[in-house]
């Protein structure tokens, strides 16, 4: 019983760590793309205001 519980806990911790890493990488990618798009919009608006 103790061995199966230990194995389950190892798998659970591994899944949580992998999920956290994937979430943080995905969040960073979305944030970078959002900032890039935001800068494009700002540049577009500035170009439209200053012909």
Helix, strand, coil percentages, rounded to 5, for the chain? 95, 0, 5
| pTM exceeds 0.75 | no
**Residue 1 confidence (pLDDT):** 62
- Report the alpha-carbon distance of residue 13 to residue 16 in Å, rounded: 5
Query: Tens digit of pLDDT for each residue in 7-50?
Result: 999 999 999 999 999 999 999 999 999 988 888 888 888 877 77
């Amino acid at each position: 019983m103790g061995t199966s519980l230990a194995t389950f806990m190892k798998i659970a911790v591994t899944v949580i760590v992998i999920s956290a890493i994937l979430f943080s990488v995905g969040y960073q990618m979305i944030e970078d793309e959002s900032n890039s798009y935001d800068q494009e919009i700002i540049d577009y608006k500035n170009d439209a205001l200053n012909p």
